[in-house]
Structure 1
Amino acid sequence: MKPYKEEKIVRDMPFPVEVFIADNRIANIDAGPHWHDCYEVLYMIEGAALQQVNDKQFKMVQHDVLILNPGCIHSTYSIPGEDACILVIKFMKEIIDSRFANFSDSQYIQAFINNRFDRIFHLNDTRQNFMELHNILLALHDEYIGKQSGFEIYIRGSLFHLIAWCVRNGIITLPEFPQESKTGLRINSMINYIEDNFKREINLKDIAQLLNLSYYYCSRYFKRMTGKTFKEYLDFVRICEAEKLLVASEMNISEIALTVGYSRVSSFNRVFKKVRGYNPGVIKKTKTAKF
Protein backbone atom coordinates (compact mmCIF):
# COMPACT_ATOMS: atom_id res chain seq x y z
CA MET A 1 0.00 0.00 0.00
CA LYS A 2 1.40 3.38 -1.01
CA PRO A 3 1.92 5.73 1.98
CA TYR A 4 -0.31 8.79 2.06
CA LYS A 5 -0.11 12.12 3.84
CA GLU A 6 -2.62 12.69 6.63
CA GLU A 7 -3.63 16.34 7.04
CA LYS A 8 -6.16 16.32 9.88
CA ILE A 9 -4.00 18.72 11.87
CA VAL A 10 -2.37 21.70 10.16
CA ARG A 11 -0.46 24.84 11.11
CA ASP A 12 -3.42 27.06 10.16
CA MET A 13 -5.46 25.71 13.07
CA PRO A 14 -5.71 28.26 15.93
CA PHE A 15 -4.49 25.57 18.35
CA PRO A 16 -2.84 22.79 16.30
CA VAL A 17 -3.34 19.90 18.72
CA GLU A 18 -5.57 16.84 18.44
CA VAL A 19 -6.16 14.32 21.24
CA PHE A 20 -8.42 11.27 21.16
CA ILE A 21 -8.70 7.62 22.24
CA ALA A 22 -8.76 4.91 19.57
CA ASP A 23 -10.51 1.77 20.85
CA ASN A 24 -11.03 -1.23 18.57
CA ARG A 25 -13.99 -2.34 20.71
CA ILE A 26 -15.80 0.77 19.46
CA ALA A 27 -14.40 1.34 15.96
CA ASN A 28 -11.74 0.03 13.61
CA ILE A 29 -8.32 1.44 14.56
CA ASP A 30 -6.35 0.13 11.58
CA ALA A 31 -4.47 2.82 9.66
CA GLY A 32 -2.32 2.01 6.64
CA PRO A 33 1.10 3.55 5.95
CA HIS A 34 0.91 7.34 6.26
CA TRP A 35 2.78 10.37 7.53
CA HIS A 36 2.00 13.90 8.66
CA ASP A 37 3.69 17.19 9.53
CA CYS A 38 2.99 16.91 13.26
CA TYR A 39 4.44 14.95 16.16
CA GLU A 40 2.38 12.01 17.37
CA VAL A 41 2.45 10.31 20.76
CA LEU A 42 0.77 6.90 21.10
CA TYR A 43 0.14 5.51 24.58
CA MET A 44 -1.30 2.01 24.94
CA ILE A 45 -3.82 2.33 27.76
CA GLU A 46 -4.73 -1.34 27.57
CA GLY A 47 -4.51 -4.28 25.19
CA ALA A 48 -2.04 -4.64 22.33
CA ALA A 49 -1.57 -3.63 18.68
CA LEU A 50 1.05 -3.77 15.94
CA GLN A 51 2.94 -0.65 14.88
CA GLN A 52 4.97 -0.36 11.70
CA VAL A 53 7.46 2.55 11.83
CA ASN A 54 9.45 3.01 8.63
CA ASP A 55 11.10 -0.42 8.20
CA LYS A 56 10.58 -1.59 11.80
CA GLN A 57 7.61 -3.43 13.29
CA PHE A 58 6.72 -3.35 16.99
CA LYS A 59 4.10 -4.92 19.20
CA MET A 60 2.73 -2.33 21.60
CA VAL A 61 1.36 -3.64 24.89
CA GLN A 62 -0.19 -1.94 27.91
CA HIS A 63 1.73 1.16 29.10
CA ASP A 64 3.97 1.28 26.03
CA VAL A 65 4.67 4.67 24.48
CA LEU A 66 5.63 5.45 20.89
CA ILE A 67 6.70 8.96 19.84
CA LEU A 68 6.66 9.66 16.10
CA ASN A 69 8.56 12.44 14.36
CA PRO A 70 7.00 14.57 11.61
CA GLY A 71 7.43 12.85 8.25
CA CYS A 72 7.81 9.38 9.78
CA ILE A 73 5.91 6.72 7.78
CA HIS A 74 3.92 4.55 10.17
CA SER A 75 0.84 2.36 10.42
CA THR A 76 -1.32 0.71 13.09
CA TYR A 77 -2.96 -2.71 12.93
CA SER A 78 -5.18 -4.62 15.34
CA ILE A 79 -4.10 -8.08 16.49
CA PRO A 80 -6.84 -10.70 15.95
CA GLY A 81 -8.49 -11.55 19.27
CA GLU A 82 -6.77 -8.66 21.11
CA ASP A 83 -8.42 -5.52 22.45
CA ALA A 84 -6.57 -2.25 21.86
CA CYS A 85 -7.20 1.10 23.53
CA ILE A 86 -4.69 3.77 22.46
CA LEU A 87 -4.39 7.39 23.55
CA VAL A 88 -3.36 9.48 20.53
CA ILE A 89 -1.83 12.95 20.90
CA LYS A 90 -0.87 14.98 17.82
CA PHE A 91 0.71 18.42 17.88
CA MET A 92 2.61 20.74 15.58
CA LYS A 93 6.15 21.76 16.48
CA GLU A 94 5.02 25.37 16.88
CA ILE A 95 3.15 24.44 20.07
CA ILE A 96 6.42 23.80 21.93
CA ASP A 97 8.86 25.84 19.83
CA SER A 98 8.05 29.09 21.60
CA ARG A 99 9.94 32.18 22.72
CA PHE A 100 12.72 31.02 25.01
CA ALA A 101 13.33 32.84 28.28
CA ASN A 102 16.94 31.65 28.36
CA PHE A 103 19.31 29.03 27.04
CA SER A 104 18.41 26.46 29.70
CA ASP A 105 14.85 26.25 28.34
CA SER A 106 15.80 26.05 24.67
CA GLN A 107 18.30 23.20 25.04
CA TYR A 108 15.55 20.81 26.22
CA ILE A 109 13.10 21.81 23.50
CA GLN A 110 15.71 21.58 20.74
CA ALA A 111 16.85 18.18 22.04
CA PHE A 112 13.27 16.91 21.68
CA ILE A 113 12.82 18.45 18.22
CA ASN A 114 16.16 17.10 16.95
CA ASN A 115 15.74 13.59 18.40
CA ARG A 116 14.88 10.73 16.03
CA PHE A 117 12.42 8.46 17.83
CA ASP A 118 12.65 4.92 16.46
CA ARG A 119 11.59 2.49 19.17
CA ILE A 120 8.85 1.59 21.64
CA PHE A 121 9.37 2.67 25.23
CA HIS A 122 8.20 -0.05 27.61
CA LEU A 123 6.98 1.59 30.80
CA ASN A 124 5.99 -1.42 32.88
CA ASP A 125 9.40 -1.21 34.55
CA THR A 126 8.95 1.03 37.62
CA ARG A 127 12.41 2.49 37.03
CA GLN A 128 10.92 4.30 34.05
CA ASN A 129 8.46 6.15 36.33
CA PHE A 130 5.64 5.12 34.03
CA MET A 131 2.88 6.25 36.41
CA GLU A 132 4.15 9.83 36.16
CA LEU A 133 3.88 9.78 32.38
CA HIS A 134 0.58 7.88 32.55
CA ASN A 135 -0.87 10.70 34.64
CA ILE A 136 0.60 13.43 32.40
CA LEU A 137 -0.90 11.97 29.23
CA LEU A 138 -4.34 11.14 30.63
CA ALA A 139 -4.64 14.57 32.27
CA LEU A 140 -3.73 16.14 28.91
CA HIS A 141 -6.52 14.12 27.27
CA ASP A 142 -9.06 15.23 29.90
CA GLU A 143 -8.09 18.88 29.39
CA TYR A 144 -8.48 18.59 25.63
CA ILE A 145 -11.90 16.95 25.90
CA GLY A 146 -13.16 19.35 28.59
CA LYS A 147 -11.76 22.49 26.92
CA GLN A 148 -12.27 24.60 30.01
CA SER A 149 -10.86 28.12 30.14
CA GLY A 150 -7.07 27.92 29.97
CA PHE A 151 -6.93 24.41 28.49
CA GLU A 152 -4.47 25.54 25.82
CA ILE A 153 -1.80 26.62 28.30
CA TYR A 154 -2.44 23.47 30.37
CA ILE A 155 -1.82 21.28 27.32
CA ARG A 156 1.35 23.19 26.38
CA GLY A 157 2.54 22.75 29.95
CA SER A 158 1.83 19.01 29.75
CA LEU A 159 3.88 18.74 26.55
CA PHE A 160 6.80 20.50 28.25
CA HIS A 161 6.33 18.06 31.15
CA LEU A 162 6.56 15.23 28.60
CA ILE A 163 9.85 16.64 27.29
CA ALA A 164 11.27 16.89 30.82
CA TRP A 165 10.20 13.29 31.48
CA CYS A 166 11.96 12.13 28.30
CA VAL A 167 15.16 13.92 29.34
CA ARG A 168 15.13 12.54 32.89
CA ASN A 169 14.52 8.99 31.70
CA GLY A 170 17.22 9.01 29.03
CA ILE A 171 14.82 8.87 26.08
CA ILE A 172 16.35 12.04 24.66
CA THR A 173 19.77 13.44 25.43
CA LEU A 174 20.90 17.02 25.47
CA PRO A 175 23.31 18.15 22.74
CA GLU A 176 26.92 18.41 23.78
CA PHE A 177 28.48 21.85 23.48
CA PRO A 178 32.12 22.82 23.90
CA GLN A 179 33.02 23.10 27.54
CA GLU A 180 33.64 26.80 28.00
CA SER A 181 32.77 28.77 31.07
CA LYS A 182 31.26 31.64 29.08
CA THR A 183 28.87 29.53 26.95
CA GLY A 184 25.75 30.12 29.02
CA LEU A 185 26.62 33.75 29.66
CA ARG A 186 27.15 34.43 25.96
CA ILE A 187 23.86 32.99 24.74
CA ASN A 188 21.94 34.66 27.55
CA SER A 189 23.61 37.97 26.71
CA MET A 190 22.56 37.58 23.07
CA ILE A 191 18.98 36.69 23.95
CA ASN A 192 18.70 39.46 26.53
CA TYR A 193 19.99 41.99 23.99
CA ILE A 194 17.33 40.93 21.48
CA GLU A 195 14.52 41.03 24.02
CA ASP A 196 15.62 44.44 25.31
CA ASN A 197 16.04 46.02 21.86
CA PHE A 198 13.68 44.22 19.45
CA LYS A 199 11.48 47.30 19.00
CA ARG A 200 14.23 49.10 17.11
CA GLU A 201 16.34 48.14 14.11
CA ILE A 202 19.01 45.68 15.29
CA ASN A 203 21.15 43.05 13.63
CA LEU A 204 23.65 40.36 14.50
CA LYS A 205 26.58 42.70 13.85
CA ASP A 206 25.47 44.77 16.86
CA ILE A 207 25.71 41.72 19.12
CA ALA A 208 29.03 40.61 17.63
CA GLN A 209 30.54 44.02 18.38
CA LEU A 210 29.03 44.07 21.86
CA LEU A 211 30.59 40.69 22.73
CA ASN A 212 33.79 41.36 20.78
CA LEU A 213 33.21 38.33 18.54
CA SER A 214 33.28 37.84 14.78
CA TYR A 215 29.99 38.05 12.88
CA TYR A 216 30.40 34.57 11.38
CA TYR A 217 31.18 32.98 14.74
CA CYS A 218 28.12 34.66 16.28
CA SER A 219 25.90 33.46 13.47
CA ARG A 220 26.94 29.80 13.78
CA TYR A 221 27.03 29.93 17.57
CA PHE A 222 23.52 31.41 17.91
CA LYS A 223 22.04 28.84 15.53
CA ARG A 224 23.79 25.97 17.30
CA MET A 225 22.69 27.05 20.76
CA THR A 226 19.06 28.00 20.04
CA GLY A 227 18.13 26.07 16.91
CA LYS A 228 17.13 29.37 15.26
CA THR A 229 18.92 31.95 13.18
CA PHE A 230 19.23 35.45 14.63
CA LYS A 231 16.51 36.70 12.25
CA GLU A 232 14.15 33.83 13.11
CA TYR A 233 14.53 34.49 16.82
CA LEU A 234 14.12 38.26 16.42
CA ASP A 235 10.95 37.75 14.38
CA PHE A 236 9.58 35.33 16.96
CA VAL A 237 10.14 37.78 19.81
CA ARG A 238 8.47 40.57 17.83
CA ILE A 239 5.47 38.43 16.91
CA CYS A 240 5.01 37.32 20.54
CA GLU A 241 4.87 40.97 21.59
CA ALA A 242 2.53 41.78 18.71
CA GLU A 243 0.12 39.06 19.85
CA LYS A 244 -0.08 40.63 23.30
CA LEU A 245 -0.89 44.01 21.77
CA LEU A 246 -3.47 42.53 19.40
CA VAL A 247 -5.31 41.03 22.35
CA ALA A 248 -4.83 43.66 25.06
CA SER A 249 -4.62 47.03 23.27
CA GLU A 250 -6.82 49.18 21.06
CA MET A 251 -3.98 49.76 18.59
CA ASN A 252 -4.61 48.89 14.96
CA ILE A 253 -2.40 46.48 13.03
CA SER A 254 -0.32 49.26 11.44
CA GLU A 255 0.45 50.79 14.83
CA ILE A 256 1.34 47.41 16.30
CA ALA A 257 3.66 46.63 13.39
CA LEU A 258 5.60 49.85 13.97
CA THR A 259 5.66 49.35 17.74
CA VAL A 260 7.28 45.90 17.55
CA GLY A 261 9.94 46.91 15.02
CA TYR A 262 8.49 46.56 11.51
CA SER A 263 8.58 49.65 9.30
CA ARG A 264 6.20 48.08 6.76
CA VAL A 265 2.84 46.52 7.55
CA SER A 266 3.24 44.12 4.63
CA SER A 267 6.45 42.75 6.17
CA PHE A 268 4.74 42.39 9.55
CA ASN A 269 1.79 40.50 8.03
CA ARG A 270 4.11 38.20 6.07
CA VAL A 271 6.28 37.36 9.10
CA PHE A 272 3.25 36.93 11.39
CA LYS A 273 1.71 34.43 8.94
CA LYS A 274 5.03 32.58 8.65
CA VAL A 275 5.49 32.31 12.43
CA ARG A 276 1.90 31.67 13.52
CA GLY A 277 0.28 30.16 10.44
CA TYR A 278 -2.52 32.74 10.27
CA ASN A 279 -2.85 36.48 9.71
CA PRO A 280 -2.88 39.00 12.61
CA GLY A 281 -6.32 40.11 11.49
CA VAL A 282 -7.71 36.79 12.75
CA ILE A 283 -6.96 37.83 16.34
CA LYS A 284 -8.52 41.25 15.83
CA LYS A 285 -11.68 39.71 14.36
CA THR A 286 -11.93 37.19 17.20
CA LYS A 287 -11.50 39.94 19.79
CA THR A 288 -14.15 42.11 18.11
CA ALA A 289 -16.59 39.20 17.90
CA LYS A 290 -16.35 38.62 21.66
CA PHE A 291 -17.50 42.15 22.34
Structure 2
Amino acid sequence: MGEHLMGTMHTPDTLAGQPADVSGCLTLNGATIEFIEVLLEYPAGAAGVPLHTHTWYEMNVVFEGTMFTSFESSMLEMNAGDFIVVPPGQVHAHRYVPDRPHRGVCLRWRIQDSACEETDSLAGRIAKLAAWQPGVYTDNHGITSLFHTLLDECSRGASPLSLRLSAFKIVLALCELQHAEPRHPAPGSHTDAALLRKVDIYLEDYYKVKWHAAELAASLHMSYGHLARTYKRLSGKTLVDRMLEIRLAKAAELLKSTRLSMQEIADRTGFASVHYFSRAFKKVYQVSPRTYRSG
Protein backbone atom coordinates (compact mmCIF):
# COMPACT_ATOMS: atom_id res chain seq x y z
CA MET A 1 0.00 0.00 0.00
CA GLY A 2 1.23 3.50 -0.70
CA GLU A 3 0.23 6.12 1.88
CA HIS A 4 -1.63 4.72 4.88
CA LEU A 5 -4.42 6.84 6.22
CA MET A 6 -3.78 5.43 9.67
CA GLY A 7 -0.53 4.53 11.34
CA THR A 8 -0.97 0.75 11.40
CA MET A 9 -0.21 -1.37 8.35
CA HIS A 10 -2.64 -4.26 8.51
CA THR A 11 -1.35 -7.57 7.20
CA PRO A 12 -2.79 -11.09 7.65
CA ASP A 13 -0.64 -11.40 10.76
CA THR A 14 -1.70 -8.11 12.32
CA LEU A 15 -5.00 -9.52 13.56
CA ALA A 16 -3.73 -13.00 14.32
CA GLY A 17 -5.16 -14.16 17.61
CA GLN A 18 -7.14 -10.94 18.06
CA PRO A 19 -10.90 -10.97 18.61
CA ALA A 20 -12.61 -9.52 15.55
CA ASP A 21 -16.20 -10.53 16.15
CA VAL A 22 -18.17 -8.10 14.04
CA SER A 23 -20.91 -10.69 13.45
CA GLY A 24 -24.36 -9.82 14.73
CA CYS A 25 -27.19 -7.33 14.22
CA LEU A 26 -27.24 -3.61 14.89
CA THR A 27 -30.31 -1.37 14.66
CA LEU A 28 -30.13 2.41 14.27
CA ASN A 29 -33.15 4.63 13.61
CA GLY A 30 -35.25 1.67 12.52
CA ALA A 31 -32.62 0.26 10.13
CA THR A 32 -31.24 -3.18 11.01
CA ILE A 33 -28.05 -4.60 9.50
CA GLU A 34 -26.73 -8.07 10.20
CA PHE A 35 -22.95 -7.99 9.88
CA ILE A 36 -21.49 -11.34 8.87
CA GLU A 37 -17.72 -10.87 8.93
CA VAL A 38 -14.75 -8.69 8.10
CA LEU A 39 -11.84 -10.46 6.43
CA LEU A 40 -8.33 -9.46 5.48
CA GLU A 41 -7.47 -10.58 1.96
CA TYR A 42 -4.08 -11.82 0.83
CA PRO A 43 -4.75 -14.62 -1.69
CA ALA A 44 -1.16 -15.81 -2.11
CA GLY A 45 -0.95 -18.41 -4.87
CA ALA A 46 -4.67 -18.31 -5.67
CA ALA A 47 -5.76 -17.77 -9.28
CA GLY A 48 -9.17 -16.30 -8.56
CA VAL A 49 -12.86 -17.06 -8.05
CA PRO A 50 -15.12 -17.97 -11.02
CA LEU A 51 -18.50 -16.39 -11.71
CA HIS A 52 -20.71 -16.65 -8.63
CA THR A 53 -23.30 -14.82 -6.52
CA HIS A 54 -23.97 -14.24 -2.81
CA THR A 55 -27.08 -13.88 -0.70
CA TRP A 56 -25.37 -11.05 1.21
CA TYR A 57 -23.74 -7.72 0.41
CA GLU A 58 -19.99 -7.82 -0.07
CA MET A 59 -17.54 -4.93 -0.25
CA ASN A 60 -13.91 -5.34 -1.24
CA VAL A 61 -11.24 -2.66 -0.81
CA VAL A 62 -7.71 -2.96 -2.19
CA PHE A 63 -4.97 -1.57 0.06
CA GLU A 64 -2.03 -2.49 -2.16
CA GLY A 65 -1.30 -4.55 -5.26
CA THR A 66 -3.70 -5.44 -8.05
CA MET A 67 -6.70 -7.71 -8.55
CA PHE A 68 -9.36 -7.95 -11.26
CA THR A 69 -13.13 -8.16 -10.97
CA SER A 70 -15.81 -8.92 -13.54
CA PHE A 71 -19.53 -8.15 -13.35
CA GLU A 72 -20.75 -10.48 -16.12
CA SER A 73 -18.27 -8.57 -18.28
CA SER A 74 -14.62 -8.13 -19.09
CA MET A 75 -12.25 -8.03 -16.12
CA LEU A 76 -11.79 -4.59 -14.55
CA GLU A 77 -8.51 -3.75 -12.84
CA MET A 78 -8.53 -2.80 -9.15
CA ASN A 79 -5.54 -1.07 -7.59
CA ALA A 80 -4.74 0.51 -4.22
CA GLY A 81 -7.61 2.76 -3.15
CA ASP A 82 -10.20 1.08 -5.37
CA PHE A 83 -13.30 -0.70 -4.09
CA ILE A 84 -16.36 -2.61 -5.26
CA VAL A 85 -19.78 -3.26 -3.75
CA VAL A 86 -21.61 -6.46 -4.70
CA PRO A 87 -25.33 -6.59 -3.80
CA PRO A 88 -27.07 -9.96 -3.27
CA GLY A 89 -27.59 -11.83 -6.52
CA GLN A 90 -25.03 -9.83 -8.54
CA VAL A 91 -23.02 -12.21 -10.74
CA HIS A 92 -19.30 -11.47 -10.48
CA ALA A 93 -15.87 -13.07 -10.60
CA HIS A 94 -12.38 -12.27 -9.34
CA ARG A 95 -8.96 -12.88 -10.83
CA TYR A 96 -5.79 -12.56 -8.76
CA VAL A 97 -2.12 -12.15 -9.61
CA PRO A 98 -0.67 -15.30 -7.97
CA ASP A 99 2.94 -14.10 -7.77
CA ARG A 100 1.93 -10.56 -6.71
CA PRO A 101 -1.20 -10.98 -4.57
CA HIS A 102 -3.09 -7.91 -3.48
CA ARG A 103 -3.77 -6.96 0.13
CA GLY A 104 -7.19 -5.74 1.04
CA VAL A 105 -10.26 -6.19 3.17
CA CYS A 106 -13.73 -7.65 2.67
CA LEU A 107 -16.87 -6.74 4.62
CA ARG A 108 -20.05 -8.82 4.36
CA TRP A 109 -23.49 -7.91 5.66
CA ARG A 110 -27.22 -8.39 5.18
CA ILE A 111 -30.00 -5.82 5.40
CA GLN A 112 -33.04 -6.85 7.40
CA ASP A 113 -36.47 -5.92 6.06
CA SER A 114 -37.97 -2.90 7.74
CA ALA A 115 -41.60 -1.96 8.25
CA CYS A 116 -40.62 1.63 7.47
CA GLU A 117 -38.64 2.02 4.27
CA GLU A 118 -39.74 5.45 3.07
CA THR A 119 -37.23 6.96 0.67
CA ASP A 120 -36.00 9.53 3.18
CA SER A 121 -35.78 7.15 6.13
CA LEU A 122 -32.47 5.55 7.06
CA ALA A 123 -33.88 2.10 6.32
CA GLY A 124 -35.08 3.33 2.93
CA ARG A 125 -31.71 4.82 2.04
CA ILE A 126 -29.89 1.64 3.05
CA ALA A 127 -32.35 -0.50 1.07
CA LYS A 128 -31.36 1.42 -2.08
CA LEU A 129 -27.96 -0.28 -1.94
CA ALA A 130 -29.66 -3.25 -3.63
CA ALA A 131 -29.54 -1.17 -6.84
CA TRP A 132 -25.83 -0.30 -6.49
CA GLN A 133 -24.31 0.30 -9.92
CA PRO A 134 -21.71 -2.39 -10.71
CA GLY A 135 -18.18 -1.27 -11.45
CA VAL A 136 -14.88 -0.34 -9.82
CA TYR A 137 -14.88 2.82 -7.70
CA THR A 138 -11.89 4.94 -6.71
CA ASP A 139 -12.02 5.98 -3.08
CA ASN A 140 -12.12 9.76 -2.94
CA HIS A 141 -14.61 9.67 -0.09
CA GLY A 142 -12.79 8.39 3.01
CA ILE A 143 -13.96 4.77 2.71
CA THR A 144 -10.42 3.44 3.16
CA SER A 145 -9.99 5.52 6.31
CA LEU A 146 -13.18 4.04 7.78
CA PHE A 147 -11.88 0.54 7.11
CA HIS A 148 -8.58 1.34 8.81
CA THR A 149 -10.52 2.53 11.85
CA LEU A 150 -12.44 -0.75 11.89
CA LEU A 151 -9.26 -2.81 11.51
CA ASP A 152 -7.48 -0.84 14.23
CA GLU A 153 -10.38 -1.61 16.56
CA CYS A 154 -10.18 -5.28 15.59
CA SER A 155 -6.46 -5.39 16.39
CA ARG A 156 -7.07 -3.72 19.77
CA GLY A 157 -9.77 -6.24 20.67
CA ALA A 158 -12.62 -3.74 20.74
CA SER A 159 -16.09 -4.92 21.75
CA PRO A 160 -18.41 -6.45 19.14
CA LEU A 161 -20.75 -3.46 19.53
CA SER A 162 -17.94 -1.03 18.78
CA LEU A 163 -16.94 -3.05 15.71
CA ARG A 164 -20.52 -3.10 14.43
CA LEU A 165 -20.84 0.65 14.90
CA SER A 166 -17.70 1.19 12.82
CA ALA A 167 -18.98 -1.22 10.17
CA PHE A 168 -22.35 0.58 10.17
CA LYS A 169 -20.50 3.85 9.42
CA ILE A 170 -19.06 2.22 6.30
CA VAL A 171 -22.52 1.25 5.07
CA LEU A 172 -23.79 4.77 5.82
CA ALA A 173 -20.91 6.22 3.81
CA LEU A 174 -21.94 4.05 0.85
CA CYS A 175 -25.45 5.48 1.06
CA GLU A 176 -23.96 8.90 0.32
CA LEU A 177 -22.14 7.60 -2.77
CA GLN A 178 -24.98 6.07 -4.75
CA HIS A 179 -24.59 8.68 -7.49
CA ALA A 180 -20.82 8.27 -7.78
CA GLU A 181 -19.53 7.14 -11.18
CA PRO A 182 -17.70 3.80 -11.36
CA ARG A 183 -15.42 2.51 -14.06
CA HIS A 184 -17.97 0.59 -16.09
CA PRO A 185 -17.61 -2.73 -17.88
CA ALA A 186 -16.67 -2.20 -21.51
CA PRO A 187 -19.64 -1.79 -23.91
CA GLY A 188 -20.74 -5.08 -25.41
CA SER A 189 -18.72 -7.10 -22.93
CA HIS A 190 -21.78 -8.88 -21.58
CA THR A 191 -21.28 -11.26 -24.48
CA ASP A 192 -18.06 -12.34 -22.75
CA ALA A 193 -20.03 -13.48 -19.71
CA ALA A 194 -22.49 -15.26 -21.98
CA LEU A 195 -19.63 -17.10 -23.67
CA LEU A 196 -18.16 -18.20 -20.34
CA ARG A 197 -21.56 -19.40 -19.19
CA LYS A 198 -22.23 -21.34 -22.41
CA VAL A 199 -18.84 -23.04 -22.16
CA ASP A 200 -19.58 -24.06 -18.57
CA ILE A 201 -23.00 -25.40 -19.52
CA TYR A 202 -21.46 -27.52 -22.29
CA LEU A 203 -18.70 -28.85 -20.04
CA GLU A 204 -21.19 -29.61 -17.27
CA ASP A 205 -23.24 -31.63 -19.76
CA TYR A 206 -20.30 -33.63 -21.06
CA TYR A 207 -17.99 -34.10 -18.07
CA LYS A 208 -18.95 -37.79 -17.73
CA VAL A 209 -17.78 -38.72 -21.22
CA LYS A 210 -14.98 -38.07 -23.65
CA TRP A 211 -15.45 -34.65 -25.16
CA HIS A 212 -13.98 -32.74 -28.09
CA ALA A 213 -13.15 -29.06 -27.90
CA ALA A 214 -13.71 -28.74 -31.64
CA GLU A 215 -17.34 -29.82 -31.19
CA LEU A 216 -17.78 -27.25 -28.43
CA ALA A 217 -16.36 -24.55 -30.70
CA ALA A 218 -18.64 -25.62 -33.55
CA SER A 219 -21.69 -25.44 -31.27
CA LEU A 220 -20.74 -21.82 -30.56
CA HIS A 221 -20.12 -21.06 -34.25
CA MET A 222 -16.45 -20.32 -33.59
CA SER A 223 -13.18 -21.82 -34.70
CA TYR A 224 -11.41 -23.87 -32.06
CA GLY A 225 -8.39 -21.54 -32.10
CA HIS A 226 -10.51 -18.44 -31.58
CA LEU A 227 -12.51 -20.06 -28.79
CA ALA A 228 -9.37 -21.28 -27.03
CA ARG A 229 -7.72 -17.84 -27.18
CA THR A 230 -10.86 -15.99 -26.12
CA TYR A 231 -11.58 -18.34 -23.24
CA LYS A 232 -7.99 -18.10 -21.97
CA ARG A 233 -8.13 -14.29 -22.14
CA LEU A 234 -11.43 -14.09 -20.26
CA SER A 235 -10.92 -16.80 -17.65
CA GLY A 236 -7.15 -17.13 -17.35
CA LYS A 237 -7.34 -20.88 -17.92
CA THR A 238 -7.61 -23.35 -20.79
CA LEU A 239 -10.71 -25.32 -21.74
CA VAL A 240 -8.97 -28.50 -20.62
CA ASP A 241 -8.16 -26.90 -17.25
CA ARG A 242 -11.80 -25.90 -16.77
CA MET A 243 -13.07 -29.38 -17.63
CA LEU A 244 -10.61 -30.85 -15.13
CA GLU A 245 -11.89 -28.44 -12.45
CA ILE A 246 -15.47 -29.54 -13.10
CA ARG A 247 -14.62 -33.24 -13.08
CA LEU A 248 -12.63 -32.98 -9.87
CA ALA A 249 -15.42 -31.00 -8.18
CA LYS A 250 -17.95 -33.66 -9.17
CA ALA A 251 -15.59 -36.37 -7.92
CA ALA A 252 -15.17 -34.58 -4.60
CA GLU A 253 -18.96 -34.50 -4.20
CA LEU A 254 -19.21 -38.23 -4.89
CA LEU A 255 -16.42 -39.01 -2.44
CA LYS A 256 -18.35 -37.32 0.37
CA SER A 257 -21.89 -38.32 -0.57
CA THR A 258 -21.48 -41.93 -1.75
CA ARG A 259 -19.53 -45.09 -1.02
CA LEU A 260 -18.63 -45.69 -4.66
CA SER A 261 -15.22 -47.20 -5.31
CA MET A 262 -12.40 -45.07 -6.73
CA GLN A 263 -12.80 -46.82 -10.08
CA GLU A 264 -16.54 -46.11 -10.17
CA ILE A 265 -15.99 -42.45 -9.33
CA ALA A 266 -13.32 -42.16 -12.00
CA ASP A 267 -15.70 -43.72 -14.53
CA ARG A 268 -18.62 -41.46 -13.56
CA THR A 269 -16.56 -38.27 -13.80
CA GLY A 270 -14.93 -38.88 -17.15
CA PHE A 271 -11.40 -39.88 -16.13
CA ALA A 272 -9.64 -42.31 -18.45
CA SER A 273 -8.22 -44.31 -15.55
CA VAL A 274 -8.37 -44.45 -11.77
CA HIS A 275 -4.63 -43.75 -11.67
CA TYR A 276 -5.03 -40.49 -13.59
CA PHE A 277 -8.00 -39.53 -11.42
CA SER A 278 -6.06 -40.12 -8.18
CA ARG A 279 -3.01 -38.25 -9.42
CA ALA A 280 -5.01 -35.24 -10.66
CA PHE A 281 -7.11 -35.14 -7.48
CA LYS A 282 -4.07 -35.14 -5.21
CA LYS A 283 -2.36 -32.43 -7.24
CA VAL A 284 -5.31 -30.06 -6.83
CA TYR A 285 -6.67 -31.01 -3.38
CA GLN A 286 -3.26 -31.81 -1.84
CA VAL A 287 -4.58 -35.12 -0.45
CA SER A 288 -5.47 -38.45 -2.00
CA PRO A 289 -9.13 -39.22 -2.79
CA ARG A 290 -9.24 -41.78 0.03
CA THR A 291 -7.85 -39.30 2.56
CA TYR A 292 -10.30 -36.65 1.36
CA ARG A 293 -13.22 -39.06 1.83
CA SER A 294 -12.19 -40.00 5.36
CA GLY A 295 -11.35 -36.43 6.38
Alignment TM-score, normalising by the size of structure 2: 0.48
Alignment TM-score, normalising by the size of structure 1: 0.48
The structure carrying a bigger helix percent of its residues is: 1
